[in-house]
A and B are shown apart, each in its own frame.
Chain A
């Protein structure tokens, strides 16, 4: 069944893209919504069916070759898929959450003139995302990798008449491309080392190599650069917060649940290689931790509800990379999964708030929405608790698995991770309290219009809230008497498991520490924003230095502008105005000038008539040939 049906899973969204793309101006909105969501649901149903098929099968790797794509010399790249436990789970996340977000979008985008365009783009995104996780080699993965980048570009700039949004879209694409160059060079090196880019051929060969070999280290660093672009890690994360320019369902789907986790997927997929490169792993762990911390610090002072969530996403992705770096592949992947639930939920919830507030995103103008948006509040609260890492919600299990591995690897990284968990809980509850508690701070006129979102938007919230609450069950650790189902499942995809060597007491101690940190943060946020009803100050007011750095995002955009963009533009002008126009053209014109000067006597011939020159040229050729001919004769 897998071999015969797998190709349908990506094909259906592609069909949806084509049909909705062609009918975007003629079809009714309900038809577009039906087609757009329907194809994703069909893909989801197939993914579920195939999942159970794989579950009951002894064979865990199903390669499916479609056709020969690029072939030159000894380089052969087939367009082929690999269905295994890792891609199976990714398919479920992408199509499952994708479907919920499509449904939600029917309500959220209902009044937008670009409704048809939106759904076709969304379908196209799902198609590329599926290609990314289904590819059986790095190049097919790269099709999806860049394809989702394109969709991200299109959807960030969906409201393209706003030139800030269009700039945000361009920034995302370009920063991703910086990573993509790393990825591509990594793939080249893989081919030149292993003679193939197929996972099935690369990994077995790599397994016999020496750990720490220079080539493997370089390959993994290059791949990691690719992951930094796509999954928004230092120093390439600044595009993700700007990407919030896109409609909120896009932020939920692309910039939280799926696309941004592609880098983690890719590294988990290549775990055989990364396990051989301890230096790279250390770099990943450090970059991940630093990103998690810096993004969390920035999130502390943001006032735009979506920006808080965006930095929170960057920070959570940092956790996942920390996990990858310390060898907790399952833990990271587990966090991908739970994060997909709670972050999609939080974004969609924020979208519901924004929808209700008629496109107000500034939390300083919100407050007291609890009573008006009951479902949104309740579901978002579950999401906030899950991300804060309070048991028994899903985020608790996945985050603690990463932190436990980090503790074993390096205590400093663990401590920073724990501190970040504290910050996470604080900014999340800050966001919740500012939005839902206290008194409404907007205009009275706007207040009357606030209403809960329609069912098509709240139902997905409820489903996601349930998943965010109980999602942890798929990998309950031994310490709680669980069987770590996900870990066992992923061994079928060749992902090695690193068993924790901590005692149960230590594990409980670590969990206690992180729960305590989250509770302190909750209490502190409650005191500050509910009891003392503190509201963040307006943009122009004075801030302490730390708050200033946080509020201005560590000035990273300004720094990049000063050290990269401006110098490149200066080079551009210098090359054009000086080298091209003065130096090279000067030489060429110099030749022309000296020719003119030197031939003043022959001025009559310099008629400026190109036709005459050509005649002379042909004449010259003939004369030359004639001379040669005569000299031979």
Chain B
């Protein structure tokens, strides 16, 4: 029951918010996001960090097709639910300085999306997962199409082509599994129990992998992402980078590994190499980007590449690294985009060359921005280190050479991030930046919260690691058992 409240509360919020006029829409949206956060904390207190699925609800929905409303939470889901519901209030609050046209529609779409995301992260029925997937995607099209930058239509179209292709592959995969399932339902446990040969598993692997790889995105399925991150309004970018891309990561863990372990085993090498290429490739591109938003977009591809590589190591360290890094990346990337939004809303530019010297006129922004940058470059003591350390360790243990190449991220990350920080914040002020004012009000609340999270998770990550460890191990055992069974 609690879980239904968790999932549908934002939907109720979306409906109510859509009916409101003027400035009350954002307040309403924030209110609902905060209540959702409280519900999450409530769930967390009742949650036992073992391998079981908790708060499960299973209602028959479309019985003729074997579709059930089956949701539940284990440690892995819990991490993504926390991610969603912690970031949502921050994302909404960070938009408070903007006056969006048709604010009620804007905020209603965000809340609608939240419901979709929560459904994705809790669904235990293939069809339900797909519904959640699309429900989370549709609002972002509208958010970008209606409130985006000047190239929004073209960019949105490219995004659409990519995602529709991905969704289609995934849908085919799900339907295929459904057809193979003698019980003729979409239940995840039935999918887990299927006995598919390695040929079938290979096809399903690619159907799912392409869908998830586009979402994350993994090289070479990534070219929608920098354009989209640059053109979408900042809350849209934050939703995409902070939370939505985790749908892809979560999808791989929940719907790919345990269902087609043989397929994974056969193709893991390719997936791994693509992921690692993405790290170096995107980092290098970030070196010479002129637009700070685009630079952060490419840095995100690099970080996600490492996360993807960590998944495919199929090791506890790698998977636990993924868990922490999903959370950390979400926190850090929305922090980065918010800082850039603060700058562009005041100076109307994110061009690195036009900025400079902001530290002098905005010391508070300089400090918070620096902490976020340090989190992003994974300095020990920040949240980024915990995840990146575990991920790099797992990739290194998988293959030392891949570990070395993936490890370049700690050098390259420092290069492009510090370059951006230097060009934007350091040096002398210029005619444009001299008038810049420091952060205040809601900006302070958001950035200070992010900085506190960065340091707290970095110093004491144990609660988070503890939350998912049992579920992660259970999942890996499941995969291994099935693998040894097939062989």
B462 adjacent to chain A (CB < 8 Å): yes
A617 adjacent to chain B (CB < 8 Å): yes
- Across the interface, which residues of B come within 8 angstroms of A72, CB to CB? 316-317, 320-321, 390, 465, 469
Q: How far is the CA of A192 from the CA of B395 in the complex (A)?
A: 12
CB < 8 Å: which of B157, B380, B469 contacts A592? B157
B107 adjacent to chain A (CB < 8 Å): no
Q: How far is the CA of A625 from the CA of B126 in the complex (A)?
A: 13
Give the shortest distance, in Å, between B230 (CB) and chain A (any CB). 13
CB < 8 Å: which of A162, A177, A592 contacts B410? A177
CB < 8 Å: which of B407, B408, B461 contacts A70? B461
Q: How far is the CA of A143 from the CA of B393 in the complex (A)?
A: 16
CB < 8 Å: which of A162, A575, A613 contacts B284? A575
- Across the interface, which residues of B come within 8 angstroms of A174, CB to CB? 411, 414-415, 418
Q: Mark A564-575, 1 if CB is under 8 A from B, else 0.
A: 000011011101
Q: How far is the CA of A70 from the CA of B320 in the complex (A)?
A: 10
Q: Which stretch (B11-19, B161-169, B235-243) binds chain A?
A: B161-169
With both beta carbons as reference points, the residue of chain B lying nearest to A71 in the complex is identified as B465
- CB <8 Å contact, B359 and A160: yes
Q: Which stretch (A180-188, A491-499, A502-510) binds chain B?
A: A180-188
**With known contacts A75-B393, A188-B397, A617-B167, A571–B179 Cβ distance under 8 A:** no
Q: How far is the CA of A589 from the CA of B315 in the complex (A)?
A: 38
- Across the interface, which residues of B come within 8 angstroms of A333, CB to CB? none
- CB <8 Å contact, B422 and A167: yes
- Across the interface, which residues of A come within 8 angstroms of B97, CB to CB? none
With both beta carbons as reference points, the residue of chain B lying nearest to A632 in the complex is identified as B184
CB < 8 Å: which of B178, B284, B357, B379 contacts A147? B379
Q: How far is the CA of A139 from the CA of B461 in the complex (A)?
A: 15
Q: Which stretch (A297-305, A399-407, A444-452, A580-588) binds chain B?
A: A580-588
- CB <8 Å contact, A68 and B415: no
CB interface residues, B 459-478, toward A, < 8 Å: 460-462, 465, 469, 473
- CB <8 Å contact, B462 and A71: yes
A73 adjacent to chain B (CB < 8 Å): yes
- CB <8 Å contact, A160 and B393: no
Q: How far is the CA of A575 from the CA of B171 in the complex (A)?
A: 32
- CB <8 Å contact, A142 and B178: no
- Across the interface, which residues of B come within 8 angstroms of A589, CB to CB? 158
Q: Mark B405-436, 1 if CB is under 8 A from A, else 0.
A: 00110110011001100100111100000000
A576 adjacent to chain B (CB < 8 Å): yes
A52 adjacent to chain B (CB < 8 Å): no
CB interface residues, A 310-345, toward B, < 8 Å: none
* Most chain B beta-carbon contacts within 10 A, residue among A170, A192, A589: A170
With both beta carbons as reference points, the residue of chain B lying nearest to A187 in the complex is identified as B393
**With known contacts A178-B411, A592-B161, A617-B134, A184–B380 Cβ distance under 8 A:** no
Give the shortest distance, in Å, between A379 (CB) and chain B (any CB). 35
Q: How far is the CA of A443 from the CA of B165 in the complex (A)?
A: 75
- Across the interface, which residues of B come within 8 angstroms of A178, CB to CB? 411
- CB <8 Å contact, B284 and A166: no
Q: How far is the CA of A617 from the CA of B427 in the complex (A)?
A: 51
- CB <8 Å contact, A173 and B411: no
Give the shortest distance, in Å, between A393 (CB) and chain B (any CB). 39
- CB <8 Å contact, B404 and A185: yes
**With known contacts A75-B317, A568-B284, A181–B465 Cβ distance under 8 A:** no
With both beta carbons as reference points, the residue of chain B lying nearest to A128 in the complex is identified as B381
With both beta carbons as reference points, the residue of chain A lying nearest to B429 in the complex is identified as A161
CB < 8 Å: which of B138, B165, B179, B392 contacts A628? B179
- Across the interface, which residues of B come within 8 angstroms of A166, CB to CB? 422, 426-427
- Across the interface, which residues of A come within 8 angstroms of B419, CB to CB? 170
- Across the interface, which residues of B come within 8 angstroms of A73, CB to CB? 315-317, 320, 473
A150 adjacent to chain B (CB < 8 Å): yes
Q: Mark B159-185, 1 if CB is under 8 A from A, else 0.
A: 011101101000100010011000010
Q: Mark A145-186, 1 if CB is under 8 A from B, else 0.
A: 111001001000100111100110110011001101100110
A-B contact pairs, 17 of them (CB 8 A): A70-B461, A72-B320, A170-B418, A173-B414, A180-B410, A181-B411, A184-B392, A188-B396, A580-B285, A592-B158, A610-B142, A610-B156, A611-B142, A614-B141, A618-B134, A628-B178, A629-B65
| Minimum-distance CB pairs A-B, first 4 | A73-B316, A72-B320, A166-B426, A143-B380
Name B's A-contacting residues (CB within 8 A).
64-65, 130, 134, 138, 141-142, 145, 153, 156-158, 160-162, 164-165, 167, 171, 175, 178-179, 184, 220, 222-224, 226, 281, 284-289, 315-317, 320-321, 356-357, 359-360, 374, 379-381, 386, 389-390, 392-393, 396-397, 400, 403-404, 407-408, 410-411, 414-415, 418-419, 422, 425-428, 460-462, 465, 469, 473
- Additional 12 contacts, C-beta under 8 A, given A163-B422, A184-B407, A588-B161: A72-B469, A73-B317, A73-B473, A75-B393, A160-B359, A162-B427, A177-B414, A181-B410, A185-B400, A610-B156, A614-B141, A632-B184
